[in-house]
Structure 1
Amino acid sequence: MGSSHSAMQMPHSNSSCAVDESIVSTPASTVTGTLILSIVFLLGFPGNLFVIWSILARARKQSVTTLLILNLALADGSLMALTPFFIAYLAFMNWKMGTVMCKVLFYLCLANMYASIYLIMLMSIYRLVSIVWPQRISVITGKRTITRVLAVMWLFVMVASIPALIYRDARRNKENRTVCDSFHDKDPDAVLQYMLENVLGFLVPYGIILVSYICILRRIRQTKFRRRIRSEKLILAIVVTFCLFWLPYHIINMVQVASALFPECSPKRILLEKIWKKFRAVTSTVAFISSCANPVLYFFAGKSYIRREGLAFMARLFEATGMDYTRKSRLNSQNSRDKDKDAEVVLQDKDRDSSTNSNSNIKLTTEK
């Protein structure tokens, strides 16, 4: 496979019209990226550790939503632990950790992206079922069921991230710097790699999230219980925040894919390569912000508990979020049961009236 790729691969740095392909080719973007990543690490690493500690040590009861938030914090916290490596990469504009670390670190980054969006997708699906089909919520809230779903999701995440192990490599660029980058950027396989990342990491899960919220909003309009509960606000904030921070990254991915589709040295290709090279470092580091944003969202959502609960305020927030779902489901289930009872009472009254009328008719006939 390696030899066939080498034969197909077009020249990179030797081409007179090639644009430097490393994300560290622009000093301004690397400085910006270094500052962003440093702030992200200082906020995100302790923040996600605090979320994990709150759930494991302080939460009295773990709901489905709490379990999903725990997995999300584990994924984000793992990424935050890797951030110093990328800070050093951008600061020195040189990859000094070898090919193995290049492949492993970018594999873990891609896995975190997939894990985050699919955990958010599972939150949206769970919310959809709890509001639209509350009578079926008990089927998916069992511990064994949730554990199996999460295991399948993590297995999918690990498999979907394998292209990072295949295509990432530490190599020299035309400025004689060592960079960690994809070394088959002009191969059809590389185009497929970036397309899969866009489709599996954004379009498919966000399509499911969008459909889920459309169904939820339609259902809420049909019910009497339109009160915005805490869990609705929190999970909607997580969804919107993730989209805002990851959308620029996926747009640059699409620009990079489009550039590979044009002939080499064509003006359109050169222009597109300049665009994605200029913004790749910034959009990649902005995407990291999503991993430190969730603890900040939890803090503002649960600040009303701080005075009463102290350090356990976040655990109480997650417990209340789980109770919101349970309460909402019970209300909807109770509504459906009440409707069934009302319908049954009406039918019984009709049967009673019809039997009374028939008895009256029989008496009249007998008397005659």
Structure 2
Amino acid sequence: MSSNSSSPSGPTFLPISLSAQVGIAILTLAFILGFPGNLFVIWSVFCKVRKRSVTCILVLNLAIADAFVLLSAPLFLRFLAGGRGWEFGTAACKLVHYLCSVNMYVSIYLICLMSMDRWLAVTRPFMSQRLRSKRSLLFLLLGVWVLAFVLSLPMPFYRSNIKLDILNKTWNICMPYHGGHVGHKVFQYTFETVMGCIIPFTLINTCYSSVICRLQSAMFQQRNKGSRLILSIILAFTIFWVPYHIVNIIEVAGELQGSASTLTAARTARPNVTAFAYFSSAVNPILYVFAGSSHIRQAGLSFMGRLFEATNSESRSTSTFTRTRSSAPDESTVLQSLSVKLGRPFKGRSKERNESVKEEDEPELKTLATVQVD
């Protein structure tokens, strides 16, 4: 390495490569669309939603995580477009990448909670009603955030502000650093892919496969915007993050096989797929706009609040339907058993019912039946 004083003839600015130009475009678009978009989602939930569903609260936490991580976009833009390397020191280098990792884990495990909530509402309606309390939800959310901060701990250890000789001058570059140990690199990228992709996506696919099978068997064809919204969030996360994890796998394979061409391909693709994954923090508000477009004409700026309130009513209707289909006895059976308790015979849906049961007793029987069914 050479010092600045030893190479006064070196260029004043780093050249901006094509890869850096693509990264600048993606980060700029992400910040312009994503930061105000996520703030709008947060404002809508706090100010325009009266009854917040589980999906709504999970979306709120997702928007908070996305808005927070997008605050780091100006630092990355300065690094890519400034031409002076990383100017913010080692601590900032480690911190911003740590927060990006936290955002990845928070996002995917919040989506897991959304999927599990739908699975419980359809397949375990009674358990779903018991677990849908503010205390349980706060406990789960705290668990997700703590888990994300813990799982992200390897990131600051494997990221550093390194001095590199480029074009006869020394520059500070914030980059991955594993101390030349192949095992550390294999561990980091394998750990990220397993904990941030394979395990959560296995859980998500299992939940939704069970939900689809259950709803088809029940012949329940209700149009559910809440489910479509969650599926669109899952699809968007998959599109933006799976390329990043594929590059992780390619680089691990290259290290284990000692293939220089494989490693070169992975290292060339990594900056672009990382910027692409970063854009996932900006795409969710766009999905909400499309999902709530039918409310825009009537509700104006409150359209997103209407969308999230709709997920509350739809969630209740799905749970009520499955609970009724799976466990509610026939009305005539309940009325018959209750009529015996009241000392009056009940003979089902026939003309004899009017003779054996007085009209003034029917409201009492139906009220008791409703209580027993619910």
Is TM more than 0.5 here? yes
Corresponding position of 1:95 = 86
**Amino acid of the structure 2 residue aligned with 1:205:** P
Please list every run of 5 or more consecutive structure 1 residues that lacks an aligned counterpart in the other structure. 1-23, 354-368
Whether the 8 Å CA contact 1:33–1:281 is kept in 2: the answer is yes
Q: Offset at 1:309?
A: 1.1
**Amino acid of the structure 2 residue aligned with 1:308:** Q
**Amino acid of the structure 2 residue aligned with 1:181:** M
Whether the 8 Å CA contact 1:123–1:235 is kept in 2: the answer is yes
Alignment partners' CA distance in 2, 1:252 and 1:278: 10
**Amino acid of the structure 1 residue aligned with 2:317:** R
**Amino acid of the structure 1 residue aligned with 2:221:** R
Whether the 8 Å CA contact 2:38–2:282 is kept in 1: the answer is yes
Whether the 8 Å CA contact 2:16–2:81 is kept in 1: the answer is no
Match of 2:270 among 280, 293, 296: 280
Corresponding position of 1:317 = 307
Q: Give the 3 Å change call, closer, same or farther, for CA 343–259 of structure 1 in structure 2.
A: farther
**Amino acid of the structure 2 residue aligned with 1:119:** L
Aligned to 1:47, the other structure's residue is in SS state: helix
Q: Offset at 1:123?
A: 0.2
Aligned to 2:211, the other structure's residue is in SS state: helix
Q: After the TM superposition, which residues 1-368 of structure 1 pair with which residues of structure 2 at under 5 Å, given as runs? A: 27-92=17-82, 94-175=85-166, 176-184=170-178, 186-263=181-258, 268=259, 270-339=260-329
Corresponding position of 1:14 = none
Q: Offset at 1:345?
A: 7.7
Q: Offset at 1:339?
A: 4.1
**Amino acid of the structure 1 residue aligned with 2:27:** L
Alignment partners' CA distance in 1, 2:131 and 2:204: 18
Can you list the C-alpha shifts for 1:32-87, whole angstroms capped at 9, x where unaligned?
Answer: 01111101110000000000000011111111111100000001111111111111
Q: Offset at 1:337?
A: 4.0
Alignment partners' CA distance in 2, 1:221 and 1:332: 12
Q: Give the 3 Å change call, closer, same or farther, for CA 174–135 of structure 1 in structure 2.
A: same
Can you list the C-alpha shifts for 1:164-210, whole angstroms capped at 9, x where unaligned?
Answer: 12121100234233211221163312211111100001110011001
Alignment partners' CA distance in 2, 1:140 and 1:328: 16
Alignment partners' CA distance in 1, 2:136 and 2:199: 23
Please list every run of 5 or more consecutive structure 2 residues that lacks an aligned counterpart in the other structure. 1-13, 339-345, 348-374
Q: Give the 3 Å change call, closer, same or farther, for CA 92–260 of structure 1 in structure 2.
A: farther
Alignment partners' CA distance in 2, 1:61 and 1:345: 35
Can you list the C-alpha shifts for 1:284-323, whole angstroms capped at 9, x where unaligned?
Answer: 1111221111100100110111111111110110010121
Whether the 8 Å CA contact 2:289–2:304 is kept in 1: the answer is yes
Q: Give the 3 Å change call, closer, same or farther, for CA 334–287 of structure 1 in structure 2.
A: same
Q: Offset at 1:343?
A: 6.7
Task: Judging by fraction of residues, say which structure has more helix.
Answer: 1
Q: Offset at 1:344?
A: 6.3
Whether the 8 Å CA contact 2:109–2:200 is kept in 1: the answer is yes
Q: Offset at 1:151?
A: 0.5
State the Cα RMSD in Å.
2.3
Whether the 8 Å CA contact 1:26–1:278 is kept in 2: the answer is no
Whether the 8 Å CA contact 2:123–2:211 is kept in 1: the answer is yes
Alignment partners' CA distance in 2, 1:141 and 1:63: 9
Can you list the C-alpha shifts for 1:244-292, whole angstroms capped at 9, x where unaligned?
Answer: 11011111111122222234xxxx2x21221112111110111122111
Alignment partners' CA distance in 2, 1:43 and 1:180: 26
Q: Give the 3 Å change call, closer, same or farther, for CA 84–160 of structure 1 in structure 2.
A: same
Can you list the C-alpha shifts for 1:108-145, whole angstroms capped at 9, x where unaligned?
Answer: 00000000000011100000000111121112110000
Structure 1 length as normaliser, TM-score? Answer: 0.83
Alignment partners' CA distance in 2, 1:238 and 1:342: 44
